[in-house]
Chains A and B, each alone.
Chain A
Amino acid sequence: MLHLSATLTRGSFQFQAECGLSDPITGIIGASGSGKTTLLHILAGLVRPDSGRITLDDAVLFDSDLGIMVPPHQRRLGLVFQDCRLFPHLSVAGNLSYGERLLPPGERRFTSQAIIDLLELEAVLHHRPAQLSGGQAQRVAVGRALLASPRMLLLDEPLASLDWRLKNQIMPFLKRIRDVTRIPMLYVSHDSTEILDLTDRVVVFEDGKVIGAGPVLDIIGDPRVLRQLRLQGLVNILPLTTLSHDSAGGLTHLRLRPTAADSRTPAIISGPLLDTHTSGDIQAMLRPEDIALAGSDIKGISIQNQVPGRVVRLIHAPDRDLCVVDIGIPLVVEISPNAARTLGLTEGNPVWCLFKSSALRYLEQLSDVSHTPLKGTELR
């Protein structure tokens, strides 16, 4: 459990945050310069706040009143920087073991081999950082932080300098870390998609201040939060499982995996054709503005996906309305205020969600998603 309250003034930038973080993984969302990186640096001890108090579990890391300031090397918080910051004079193996070497063997939570397997770094162990691709370097940076057995992993926009393809490649690794290592994570990004792919618990920053904290759907009602989320790309993440491939039709059929126990039959959704050999679980992204609502299902229309659901919430924003529809998972739909009135949408109404199969965007290569559990003896 991390408690933080801190204020910091640097020139015209004023930072002020107060939050408690106890989830396995919390996303920090906000525009560039809104204070997200400052938060991580304050937590790590690289920046000293003007005032405040930081506690992690039962340890006090900072207290301006009592004059306590634990230096970074004693905080055991693994900070993964946006620019990797691998040591150029050490090989990958040397970088990985840098923090690990400083710990007494009894305090090391992971074996090197376990992390190397987790992040698939075997092939580049003897390379120098300069020889690595952006994605490989970022994985090494994460592995290095993990091997130092931190109490918490702080990731500062780790995918910012990577393109879409590389991001998709690394996401599975981050999910593995989330699921397998069970180290609490703070994930900073200006891209909501990355975060929402990993978690729905977020803290939203604007101009150096926290404007909302909690599950996305809970805080989405606040207009400021909503504006920030939409600016940073609010999206729906659909957890799906492949059913069949229709090469002739150019479609893959997938089943929606509902979040809660649901008596209804899970919805079937069609998306762009995947490689016919792929099968298993996959996440897909669907933008709220790509979904249309209808009072009933419509025949004679090219739109492939028509999913029934129930209106859970209506949120009014200055220029658009948001409608949260339960189709097995909560789906955020963006419609014009006119449309809301015309359809007579109210909470509890049944409604149909329409979206084209091409609006679905898969978030990772199926081949990277593996649920092969790590060999039990390697993970202490």
Chain B
Amino acid sequence: MTWLSSEEWVVLGLSARVAVCCAAAVAIPGIACGWILARTRFPGKSLVDAALHAPLVMPPVVTGYLLLMLLGREGILGGVLYRHFGISVAFTWKAAVVASAVMAFPLMVRAVRVAIEMTDPKLDEAARCLGATPLRTFLTVTLPLARPGIMAGLILAFARSLGEFGATIVFAGNIQGETRTLPLAVYSLMQSTGGDAAVLRLVMISILLSFGALLFSELLCRRYARSGRGLD
């Protein structure tokens, strides 16, 4: 297609790659935390719940800065990684994934938690009495029934990543070809001259991608919900 410059294609590709990796990164921790919040009780649970939702209410730039302090080359954890293993995450596309994942994590946990809460724990009891271990019960009964919610959570994480700006620009930087995702590209274009047409193009694409993701999520939810209720 010639109506997108090569740089814009790079931006799109990078955004897509980061968003997919973000969804993959939050999948298992998100399901685990969602299950813990839905099915278990322990002292301090509401504190943990609040802490998990922190990225939703903190300014994204602050979150990005905290990530930098934690995982930057001189950070608490990042320093160790860099000095002993030569691993540096900040200012690479992996940092963009980490930033997106942290911001999207609460959304995933919420979606999973609601989905699991809607499954009947009595079905778990039935499975247990038939000989299924708790893990098998989770994998064969709870998870399939919660599938619509989990899919919705993953797609939400994907869409959130597409729009993630504040934490990304602080933790991953705004490096063309490396960490300049769609929102950062729009921001950069707005800072420069004659970028109006490009801004519009990228904004249109952002909207199309997000819309598409959300529509797909809606469709999936309906299809799985119908299957789950045995209406097929």
Direct contact of A and B (CB under 8 A): yes
Tell me the bound Cα distance from A89 to B223 in angstroms: 12
Whether B125 and A85, one on each chain, are in contact in the complex, defined by CB atoms closer than 8 angstroms, is yes
Chain A interface: which of B58-66, B70-78, B127-135, B173-181? B127-135
Whether B131 and A87, one on each chain, are in contact in the complex, defined by CB atoms closer than 8 angstroms, is no
B87-134 interface with A by 8 A CB criterion = 120, 122-123, 125-134
Whether B230 and A102, one on each chain, are in contact in the complex, defined by CB atoms closer than 8 angstroms, is no
Residues of A in contact, count (CB < 8 Å): 29
Whether A102 and B128, one on each chain, are in contact in the complex, defined by CB atoms closer than 8 angstroms, is no
Q: Assuming A73-B133, A148-B131, is B126 touching A128 (CB within 8 A)?
A: no
User: Binary interface profile of B, 122-155, with partner A (CB < 8 Å = 1, else 0)?
Assistant: 1101111111111010001100110000000000
Q: Assuming A89-B145, A130-B231, is B123 touching A99 (CB within 8 A)?
A: no
Tell me the bound Cα distance from A308 to B141 in angstroms: 59
Asked if A144 lies at the interface with its beta carbon under 8 angstroms from chain B, I say: yes
Q: Which residue of A lies closest to B224 (CB)?
A: A89
In the assembled complex, which residues on chain B have CB atoms less than 8 Å from the CB atom of A46? 125, 128-129
Tell me the bound Cα distance from A71 to B136 in angstroms: 14
Whether B230 and A81, one on each chain, are in contact in the complex, defined by CB atoms closer than 8 angstroms, is no
Whether B129 and A72, one on each chain, are in contact in the complex, defined by CB atoms closer than 8 angstroms, is yes
Asked if A131 lies at the interface with its beta carbon under 8 angstroms from chain B, I say: yes
Whether B126 and A85, one on each chain, are in contact in the complex, defined by CB atoms closer than 8 angstroms, is yes
In the assembled complex, which residues on chain A have CB atoms less than 8 Å from the CB atom of B140? 98
Q: Assuming A78-B129, A81-B126, A148-B131, is B230 touching A87 (CB within 8 A)?
A: no
In the assembled complex, which residues on chain A have CB atoms less than 8 Å from the CB atom of B134? 73
Asked if A4 lies at the interface with its beta carbon under 8 angstroms from chain B, I say: no
Shortest Cβ distance from residue A334 to the other chain B in the assembled complex, whole angstroms = 40
Tell me the bound Cα distance from A59 to B69 in angstroms: 57
Interface size range on B against A? 20 to 34
Whether B232 and A79, one on each chain, are in contact in the complex, defined by CB atoms closer than 8 angstroms, is no
Q: How many A-B residue pairs have C-beta atoms within 8 angstroms? Tell me.
A: 72
Whether A130 and B230, one on each chain, are in contact in the complex, defined by CB atoms closer than 8 angstroms, is yes
Whether A88 and B132, one on each chain, are in contact in the complex, defined by CB atoms closer than 8 angstroms, is no
A38-79 interface with B by 8 A CB criterion = 44-46, 71-74, 76-79
Shortest Cβ distance from residue B142 to the other chain A in the assembled complex, whole angstroms = 10
Whether B232 and A128, one on each chain, are in contact in the complex, defined by CB atoms closer than 8 angstroms, is yes
Whether A73 and B131, one on each chain, are in contact in the complex, defined by CB atoms closer than 8 angstroms, is yes
In the assembled complex, which residues on chain B have CB atoms less than 8 Å from the CB atom of A81? 122, 125-126
Tell me the bound Cα distance from A75 to B217 in angstroms: 41
In the assembled complex, which residues on chain B have CB atoms less than 8 Å from the CB atom of A89? 144-145, 227-228
A136-188 interface with B by 8 A CB criterion = 144-145, 148
Whether A129 and B230, one on each chain, are in contact in the complex, defined by CB atoms closer than 8 angstroms, is yes
Whether B136 and A79, one on each chain, are in contact in the complex, defined by CB atoms closer than 8 angstroms, is no
Asked if A243 lies at the interface with its beta carbon under 8 angstroms from chain B, I say: no
In the assembled complex, which residues on chain A have CB atoms less than 8 Å from the CB atom of B228? 88-89
Shortest Cβ distance from residue A101 to the other chain B in the assembled complex, whole angstroms = 9
User: Binary interface profile of A, 193-211, with partner B (CB < 8 Å = 1, else 0)?
Assistant: 0000000000000000000
In the assembled complex, which residues on chain B have CB atoms less than 8 Å from the CB atom of A88? 123, 145, 228-230
Closest 7 CB pairs of A and B: A128-B230, A99-B130, A130-B230, A85-B126, A72-B128, A79-B129, A102-B131
> Could you list 11 A-B pairs, sorted by A, with CB under 8 Å?
A44-B129, A72-B128, A73-B134, A76-B131, A81-B125, A87-B127, A88-B145, A89-B144, A98-B130, A103-B131, A148-B130
Query: Chain A residues in contact with chain B, CB under 8 A?
Result: 44-46, 71-74, 76-79, 81, 83, 85, 87-89, 98-99, 102-103, 127-131, 144-145, 148
Known: A77-B129, A102-B130. 17 other contacts (CB 8 A): A46-B125, A71-B128, A72-B129, A73-B129, A73-B132, A73-B133, A81-B122, A85-B123, A87-B126, A88-B229, A88-B230, A89-B144, A89-B145, A98-B127, A130-B230, A131-B230, A148-B130
